[in-house]
Amino acid sequence: MKIVYTNCMDITQIAIITSLVFITIIIVASGIWLILILKELKVTLHKTNRILDDTKTITSAVAQPMASISEFVDGFKNGVSFFNGLFKKKK
């Protein structure tokens, strides 16, 4: 009696191997996609940070003269009210 071994895979094994290959491909592609999205997010956050820094610089550059003008106007008002008080006509 001679025993013959055949390496035939049945349909279930083929389906499992095919499914595993497709799932592996999908997981690898999703990982690559996630890495690319995270790199893009990093670039976007870096640009946003630069914009916010520029905005801060511009805002402080505008706020300083405005504060000086406000102090000047307040001083001018105080001076006018002081002189009005000195030269106020009595009735």
CA 26 to chain CA mean position, Å: 29
CA 8 to chain CA mean position, Å: 56
- Each residue's pLDDT, cut to its tens digit, for the chain (91 residues) gives 666 556 667 888 889 999 999 999 999 999 999 999 999 999 999 999 999 999 988 888 877 777 778 787 888 788 777 777 777 766 5
- Picking from 64, 45, 86, 40, the residue whose alpha carbon sits closest to that of residue 78 is 86
Q: What is the pTM of this model?
A: 0.54
